[in-house]
A and B are shown apart, each in its own frame.
Chain A
Amino acid sequence: MADLDSVLVIGSGPIVIGQAAEFDYAGTQACKALREEGVRSILVNSNPATIMTDEGIADRVYIEPITREVLARVIEQERPQGLLASMGGQTGLNMAVELGEAGILDASGVRVLGTPLEGIQDAEDRERFRALMERIGEPVPESRTVTSLPEAWDFARSCGFPLVVRPAYTLGGTGGGFARHEDEFEAVVNGGLQASPIGQVLVERSLAGWKEIEYEVMRDGADNCITVCNMENFDPMGVHTGDSIVFAPSQTLSDKEYQMLRSAALRIIRALRVEGGCNVQFALDPKSFNYAVIEVNPRVSRSSALASKATGYPIARIAAKIALGRRLDELPNPITQRTCAAFEPALDYVVTKIPRWPFDKFEHADRRLGTQMKATGEVMAIERTIEACLNKAVRGLEIGGRTLLWEDPAWADDDEAVWWRIDHAHDERLWAIMAALRRGAEPAEIARRSRIDIFFVDKMAAIHAMERRLLNELLTADLLWDAKRMGFSDEMIAALADELPQRVRERRESYGITPVYKMVDTCAAEFDAVTPYYWSTYEHENEAQPEADSPAVVIGSGPIRIGQGIEFDYCSVHAAWALQAAGRASVMINSNPETVSTDFDSSTRLYFEALDVESVADVLANEGRRNGMPPAIAQFGGQTAINLAEPLYTLGHEIAGGGPGSIDEAEDRAKFDRFLERLGLLRPPGATVTRMQDAVTVAEQLGYPVLVRPSYVLGGRAMEIVDDRQELERYIHEVTQPSPERPVLVDKYLEGRELEVDAICDGTHTLIPGIMEHIERAGVHSGDSFAVYPPVTASEATQAAILEATQRICAGLGARGLVNVQYVEYDGDVYVLEVNPRSSRTVPFLSKATGIPMVRLAMQTLFGASLAELGWAPGLAPVPPLVAVKAPVFSMAKLSGVDTYLGPEMKSTGEVMGVDRAFPPALLKAMIAAGNALPPEGDVLLSIADRDKPGAVDIIRRLDQLGYGLVATEGTARFIRDLGLRARTVAKMRAGTPNVEQFIRSGSSVLVVNTLTGRRQALQDGHYMRRAAAETRTPCLTTLETVRSLLDALGSTRGAYDVRTIDEYRGAAPIPA
């Protein structure tokens, strides 16, 4: 590329619903492609938990907010010739359009690579898109673009219902919705107008019930076009494609329909002048050849990541090369390395994607599915039949071990509940269909009511028929074989045949019923492929011969969910790389199609499998056929991998770094207490109770507030802070009844400063890359807290105590690898809150801030190296001259019904990093990157609980000094006036007009500060307020610490900050390994 030596790549920023790990995958591929082509990559991304922000991937890495200002400064500093905007999702495209419209690109001579800006705008702007489709004769649903409610009504009256509302320029369909009839119309239109950054929505005739079909297409600058993959949604039109169960390739289309839509997709990308990848969504009438073009994304997308993993065709990588001017026929197909990239993959398997929704976390959320995406992640399965693929995908979801056999106990005598989930798209619809079949429903009836194609319902009926066989017949080799061919897990078979899962496994192994592995090769075995990318099935030929170079198996982290995000994929990838660096074969197992870990060149060998005990044990057995069982690495895949360690160990598998003993030590409450006592360390006093009255007694002894949680759930789920006996009784009544089987933990709640460390231990000595201090007081889940590295307020003594405690804990556990410890400092003492002998979610953040290759070091210690051998002294690592702030990012606007207040249960979906020379600008940037930037003027709405009011005085005064108008609910307003300041009053809910919710919804405030009274009681009232803020994208802070820090940052920086690469901030690199 003679005229291009450097290219600016825009990342997608934090993980939010609708824009997730798929863009780390795309961006990483793009940066690798640039490097292959000899082009320097300059990357801007605020998300530290990404592989693409590793310096080994991009050449210049700016971990900075993705804003016009920052990008303009980067362009000025780096002088790139080109801009690659199509890898960073909607964020990347929107920024490119903004930079273009502001004249920044022209002024600095930056060329948009790939699809031209006009093409992007033709696809993104509803009206232009419509006009273009009409020009080329492609049908689009009857619609009108409107910017006001009266215009919308005008169209609705002429077109009739049902209608769908789609806001312009939003991701994941945010803010859109269905209006089945007049009553629903206004609310949906208003929501959409608010969600669109340009206040524009498309009101469109609904095609609910039509088939939804997608094509992933590519085009190069010489007008060569291919389709990589097509997909058919299980859910008909009406459910956002990100929330739909999807099959690839299409299943119910004849060649005529397939080619009709394929040709249309190619006509569309030609008209848009796409150079790179593009996604085209169609609605197809199930009763004719009529179709309509629904949407086009002129960039790589979640669907293109899925298509890449489903076919093996690396869309983002090829798209990046096309953007540089290469032609499809010049590029090799990296899978076969013999054929070229100008071809269309042929699949000899079926792929199923199932979204992973966060409703296990958010029980009060509205679980119906519609045009607004709600899923945080997804799983993919590859198999030879629909039945097997569906079963396998469900096993990969990891919703508490839920298989297709699961039914909500509440459905037992409530057929209505079952049918409601079938009639309405719902996250439990798959299970409801199975439940209906078990109750004797006809597939035709289910198909009619759900409008799901009978083809799929028939397949589910076949699964049901197998259930009946397993219930009624003897478990012969024949039945076992048939069941395994349908994807039934040993556990499902055991449950139905009334056996123990282990016995089922033994029996099938004794018959020789074990899975074989087939390769994803893009070509249905037509050519020899070199890519070691495998999936399991029950057939005859096994293509996956064991790796020769002492393999080790990295257990991945499965679908992205709240509490287990992309951070663990980052760690898994680094674990695989560390193995390769050590000359070992890395074998990756994962079920998540969005991620870098499931890229075929992230590991020596990839098994695309569900992360359940059976699948992992099968892979270990396959790799161990020749040279003995390889060790499994369970430290990096989050809770998913940790949960597998013990059962795998019990099955006799080696877990790298020792058995799960140390995990047990850290997670078993009684053992943990004794352990800390032995080390002379404090932990908040508390007890495990099995009876209601004991809970009360313990709480009274400890003194309120206390932290209560069920002992059998992890990750802060169902954890609450209660202030008095009444609250405690309510909690026990509503949330969990203590029993000997399900004990409840009651701990003293210490409202102090929370600190956290990630340490690397070699069994004896411990390296502490850094201490992080949380801005919010203890009680807010660490994943939802702002964290600062290095600490800014904790005293030397406290930090020293933490270093000492960490070293003692690690040595005491005899741990190898990573250990995460959380502390609270209270009244000058340091208490241990939690010890997790594994990689934590802060590892990528701390790795980026310190420059220490934490995962690599951890892997080396896991396999026996000492820190001394690796060149690292024990204790705290040298601190670079920077301050880094991690800020949580939420997706609350997309989850109606979910309360946004922060507590012990994690709610954030992603994170950003703000880094600078000092704390205030670092924090300011974290705030900007997280979308909490405060404009220089406007009204701030305050509603502060009585107990917090005294602590809020300084905040109120400073807001006033900074020139913000103060608006408050009654009590807070009185309090402000008592301070001698002016405050306007807004009515509480149901206490006049405009009330506080209406005030927020009208967009009148630039910030909402709301703290909780009495924890739970005020939740109902404050709930509406916080929802209103979430839905109007008004920053809403629920802890005073966060507000104070924001004001500190604003006050001392006056909005000024540096823009530098992360290694420039770090200065000299730390001692090399």
Chain B
Amino acid sequence: MQAEPAALALATGDVFFGYGFGSCEPAEGEVVFNTSMTGYQEITTDASYRGQIVTLTYPLINNYGVNADDVESRRPWIAGLVVRELAPTSSNWRAAGGLGAFLDEHGIAGIMGVDTRALVRVIRRTGPAPSRLVRAPRDVARGATTFHWLRGAHPGAAAWAESEVERAQDLPPYDDQPFVSEVTVPEPFTTTSAPWAPWPEPRRRDREPRIALLDIGVKTNIVRSLARRGARVHVLPYGSTPSDIDALQPDGVVVGNGPGDPVQADRAVETVRAMIGRYPLMGICLGHQVLGLAIGATTSRLPFGHRGANHPVQDLTDGRVHITSQNHGFQVDADSIPADSGFSVSHVNLNDGSVEGLSHERLPVFSIQYHPEASPGPQDNQYLFDRFLDAIEGVGGRAA
């Protein structure tokens, strides 16, 4: 199959030429990058990437194919994918297909052959820009050779790309979009299942703690990490009210990750605000930002986000450093945390000093900005789930 010429046009005016894979439909979103060297299937299926075209900085993608297990939600959510090379064949005993076909099935476009490092350097300078990832129309692509096409030197390519840049500039701002309601589960469900994973089994809790999980884009491995520890997890859609949670009589509440500007998740903020002091609560990623907003702190955009599996975070309680998996474009502003809220910064990012965790001085309520469930990324922070379940057992469970 001869790949079709395609381009990624950024609102900044930068254009990257390459070849299309996956869906032929144009992709629109803000372009971000992830520096993980493994885990592309988990990344594509992470709902936090809703509305984003993801650039993978590791150049060789699809080496090990895709399989039925390594999915983080019911479908891939990324708006589009940018890679240097999409391996034409994959090799791994679990591989059940290729990434290109997997994305195509879900109508997601990708582009390969891109100087992704150059693209990352643009994103680093300008921040995530609204972008369009599009196949070249037949009249533009006609007779294009790789050499001319990749350099944008093919006749008509530059003019066409310019029009795509203009269209990218007209895209609705990422921050204004209600992505959470698009990615949350339509109906509540309950699970206790956690398929086998190739790492040591954590301690199972005897009393089957009951967890209410407010889904604002949650990754499956958060659910699995709780279930693996013996929890019964009730997954509730976005918009669930405090009384919906109370009705479950949970031992604790978890608010997971999700896409978009946290201020868009205002209904989750309200719910969480009502939960504080009533249940042990753990916020993860967007859940952390939601908690921040709920306690009166503010959030803001990071210059270009943290997306990767190598971010060092220091736990301020014991000084230990943990390598964490991250995927977020917003942060809780450290100096905005109300002094009387009882909350303080518990974890900081060693690269830029940004807030990576909040905890309450008294209540069993804490949040972290990164991904203890990893997937992809280091498994080093799974202990946070144990800490949460310990906290639940510490207060004797159920509503206080």
Instruction: State the A residues within 8 Å of B (CB).
Output: 137, 222-226, 249-260, 262-263, 266, 286-289, 327-329, 338-340, 342-350, 384-386, 453-455, 458, 462, 476-478, 480-482, 511, 513, 518, 523-528, 539-541, 543
Contact residues in A for B309 (Cβ distance below 8 Å): 344, 346
CB pair A286 B37 closer than 8 Å: no
Query: What would be 9 A-B contacts, judged by CB atoms less than 8 Å apart?
Result: A259-B377, A259-B378, A329-B350, A342-B350, A344-B323, A347-B37, A477-B148, A528-B124, A541-B118
Nearest chain B CB to A477 CB, angstrom units:
5
Nearest B residue to A261 via CB reads: B198
CB pair B59 A259 closer than 8 Å: no
Q: Is B320 an interface residue (CB 8 A)?
A: yes
Q: With A350-B60, A476-B145 given, can you name 14 additional A-B contacts, CB distance below 8 Å?
A: A251-B60, A255-B377, A256-B70, A256-B197, A260-B198, A339-B312, A346-B57, A346-B308, A385-B84, A478-B146, A525-B117, A526-B35, A541-B115, A541-B121
Contact residues in B for A225 (Cβ distance below 8 Å): 380
Contact residues in A for B320 (Cβ distance below 8 Å): 222-224
Which of the residues A257, A338, A386 comes within 8 Å of B60, measured between beta carbons? A386
Chain B 130-152 near chain A by CB (<8 Å), digits 1 or 0? 00000000000000011110110
Nearest chain A CB to B397 CB, angstrom units:
30
Which of the residues A250, A263, A525 comes within 8 Å of B124, measured between beta carbons? A525
A513 to B198 Cα, complex, angstroms: 46
Q: Is B193 an interface residue (CB 8 A)?
A: no
CB pair B310 A345 closer than 8 Å: yes
| Known pairs A251-B63, A252-B64, A481-B147; A346 contacts B36 (CB<8 A) | yes
Q: Is B4 an interface residue (CB 8 A)?
A: no
| Known pairs A346-B36, A455-B91; A385 contacts B59 (CB<8 A) | yes
Contact residues in A for B39 (Cβ distance below 8 Å): 254-255, 258
CB pair A343 B351 closer than 8 Å: yes
CB pair A343 B323 closer than 8 Å: yes
Nearest A residue to B42 via CB reads: A255
Nearest chain A CB to B250 CB, angstrom units:
30
Interface residues of B in 79-103 (CB under 8 A from A): 84-85, 87-94
Which of the residues A254, A347, A386, A518 comes within 8 Å of B58, measured between beta carbons? A347
Contact residues in A for B200 (Cβ distance below 8 Å): 137, 263
Contact residues in B for A527 (Cβ distance below 8 Å): 124, 351
Chain B 98-125 near chain A by CB (<8 Å), digits 1 or 0? 0000000000000000011110110010
CB pair A343 B312 closer than 8 Å: yes
Nearest chain A CB to B13 CB, angstrom units:
15
CB pair B312 A481 closer than 8 Å: no
CB pair B118 A328 closer than 8 Å: no
Interface residues of B in 159-206 (CB under 8 A from A): 197-200
CB pair A526 B308 closer than 8 Å: yes
| Known pairs A256-B197, A384-B84; A481 contacts B146 (CB<8 A) | yes
Nearest chain B CB to A288 CB, angstrom units:
7
Which of the residues B59, B147, B379 comes within 8 Å of A348, measured between beta carbons? B59
Contact residues in A for B396 (Cβ distance below 8 Å): none
Which of the residues B115, B145, B321 comes within 8 Å of A539, measured between beta carbons? B115
Which of the residues B70, B87, B350 comes within 8 Å of A343, measured between beta carbons? B350
Contact residues in A for B145 (Cβ distance below 8 Å): 476-478
Contact residues in B for A526 (Cβ distance below 8 Å): 33, 35, 57, 120, 124, 308
Nearest chain B CB to A366 CB, angstrom units:
31
A455 to B58 Cα, complex, angstroms: 17
Nearest B residue to A349 via CB reads: B59
CB pair A259 B312 closer than 8 Å: no
CB pair B59 A342 closer than 8 Å: no
CB pair A342 B376 closer than 8 Å: no
Interface residues of B in 302-348 (CB under 8 A from A): 308-312, 314, 319-321, 323
Q: Is B241 an interface residue (CB 8 A)?
A: no
A524 to B37 Cα, complex, angstroms: 10
A654 to B101 Cα, complex, angstroms: 53
Q: Is B38 an interface residue (CB 8 A)?
A: yes
A296 to B349 Cα, complex, angstroms: 31
A462 to B88 Cα, complex, angstroms: 10
Q: Is B249 an interface residue (CB 8 A)?
A: no
CB pair A253 B57 closer than 8 Å: no
Contact residues in A for B118 (Cβ distance below 8 Å): 539-541
Which of the residues A289, A342, A513 comes within 8 Å of B147, measured between beta carbons? A513
Nearest B residue to A385 via CB reads: B85
Which of the residues B93, B148, B311 comes within 8 Å of A288, measured between beta carbons? B93
Contact residues in A for B42 (Cβ distance below 8 Å): 255
Contact residues in B for A327 (Cβ distance below 8 Å): 321
Q: Is B12 an interface residue (CB 8 A)?
A: no
Q: Is B67 an interface residue (CB 8 A)?
A: yes
CB pair A254 B351 closer than 8 Å: no
A844 to B216 Cα, complex, angstroms: 66
Which of the residues A137, A255, A350, A455 comes within 8 Å of B70, measured between beta carbons? A255
A428 to B351 Cα, complex, angstroms: 45
CB pair A525 B57 closer than 8 Å: yes
A480 to B35 Cα, complex, angstroms: 31
Question: Looking at B33, B88, B117, which has the most chain A CB atoms within 10 Å of its CB?
Answer: B117
Contact residues in B for A250 (Cβ distance below 8 Å): 38
| Known pairs A256-B197, A259-B199, A263-B199; A524 contacts B375 (CB<8 A) | no
| Known pairs A345-B310, A350-B60, A526-B120; A478 contacts B147 (CB<8 A) | yes
Q: Is B374 an interface residue (CB 8 A)?
A: yes
| Known pairs A256-B70, A540-B151; A525 contacts B198 (CB<8 A) | no
Contact residues in B for A478 (Cβ distance below 8 Å): 145-148
Which of the residues B63, B117, B199, B312 comes within 8 Å of A342, measured between beta carbons? B312
| Known pairs A348-B117, A541-B115; A253 contacts B64 (CB<8 A) | yes
Chain B 202-246 near chain A by CB (<8 Å), digits 1 or 0? 000000000000000000000000000000000000000000000
A723 to B35 Cα, complex, angstroms: 66
Contact residues in A for B70 (Cβ distance below 8 Å): 254-256
Nearest chain B CB to A321 CB, angstrom units:
15
Chain B 59-80 near chain A by CB (<8 Å), digits 1 or 0? 1100110010110000000000
CB pair A482 B146 closer than 8 Å: yes
Nearest A residue to B85 via CB reads: A385
A386 to B88 Cα, complex, angstroms: 13
Nearest A residue to B123 via CB reads: A525
Chain B 3-41 near chain A by CB (<8 Å), digits 1 or 0? 000000000000000000000000000000101111101
A526 to B312 Cα, complex, angstroms: 14
A286 to B150 Cα, complex, angstroms: 36
Nearest chain A CB to B271 CB, angstrom units:
32
CB pair B198 A289 closer than 8 Å: yes
A223 to B319 Cα, complex, angstroms: 10
4 closest A-B pairs by CB:
A255-B39, A541-B118, A455-B91, A481-B147
CB pair A262 B378 closer than 8 Å: yes
Interface residues of B in 278-322 (CB under 8 A from A): 308-312, 314, 319-321
Nearest chain B CB to A514 CB, angstrom units:
12
Nearest chain A CB to B38 CB, angstrom units:
4
A224 to B311 Cα, complex, angstroms: 13
Which of the residues B57, B311, B323, B380 comes within 8 Å of A524, measured between beta carbons? B57
Contact residues in A for B93 (Cβ distance below 8 Å): 286-288
CB pair A224 B380 closer than 8 Å: no
| Known pairs A137-B200, A255-B38, A525-B124; A346 contacts B310 (CB<8 A) | yes
Nearest B residue to A527 via CB reads: B351
Nearest chain B CB to A258 CB, angstrom units:
5
Contact residues in A for B197 (Cβ distance below 8 Å): 256
Nearest B residue to A289 via CB reads: B198
Which of the residues A222, A260, A540 comes within 8 Å of B319, measured between beta carbons? A222
Contact residues in A for B85 (Cβ distance below 8 Å): 384-385
Nearest B residue to A454 via CB reads: B91
A153 to B6 Cα, complex, angstroms: 64
Question: Looking at B67, B93, B120, B124, which has the most chain A CB atoms within 10 Å of its CB?
Answer: B93
Nearest chain B CB to A650 CB, angstrom units:
28
Interface residues of B in 347-392 (CB under 8 A from A): 350-351, 374-380
| Known pairs A137-B200, A254-B64, A384-B59; A249 contacts B37 (CB<8 A) | yes
